[in-house]
């Protein structure tokens, strides 16, 4: 399975971020098992299973589903940055 890494703006915690995403009772698309955040994203009309784990100050993203081209990888990276708020500076908080 292809994988890549993303570096979020610090401070960042995947566990707290996934908790915020899961806070709505009707949310059936976000899954957190205590270590891995999973979600299916639709890219180019096809589902891609995206698994994300945090290792210190980096996120490891693993993909499965369709053939993963560099364009698909870039689209998923962009979607995760927006979805997880990876570029948001929370240092003042």
pTM: 0.87
How would residue 28 be classed by pLDDT, with cut points 50, 70 and 90? confident
pLDDT tens-digit map of 37-92: 999 998 888 889 999 999 999 999 999 887 788 888 899 999 999 999 999 887 77
Specify if 91 maps to a domain: no
Phi and psi at 59, nearest 5°, equal: -110, 130
SS3 (DSSP) at 18: helix
Structural domain contains residue 92: no
What is the H or E stretch that residue 47 is in?
Answer: strand 46-55
- Which H or E run includes 37? strand 36-43
How far apart CA 47 and CA 9 sit, in angstroms, is 28
Mean pLDDT within 6-20: 92
Residue 92's CB is within 10 A of a number of other CB atoms, namely 4
Q: Is residue 25 part of a domain?
A: yes
Where residue 52 sits, what CATH number does that domain have?
3.30.310.20
Q: Does the residue 93 lie in any domain?
A: no
Per the domain annotation, does 77 fall within a domain? yes
Q: How many domains are contained in the chain? A: 1
Q: Averaged over 7-30, what is the pLDDT?
A: 86
Domain hosting 42: range is: 3-84
């Amino acid at each position: 399975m292809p994988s890549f890494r993303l570096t979020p703006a610090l401070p960042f915690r995947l566990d707290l971020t996934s908790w915020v995403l899961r806070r709505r009772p009707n949310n059936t698309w976000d899954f957190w098992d205590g270590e891995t955040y999973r979600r299916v994203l639709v890219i180019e009309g096809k589902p891609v299973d995206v698994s994300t784990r945090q290792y210190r100050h980096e996120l490891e993203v693993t993909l499965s589903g369709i053939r993963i081209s560099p364009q698909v990888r870039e689209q998923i990276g962009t979607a995760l940055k927006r979805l997880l708020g990876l570029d948001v500076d929370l240092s003042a908080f």
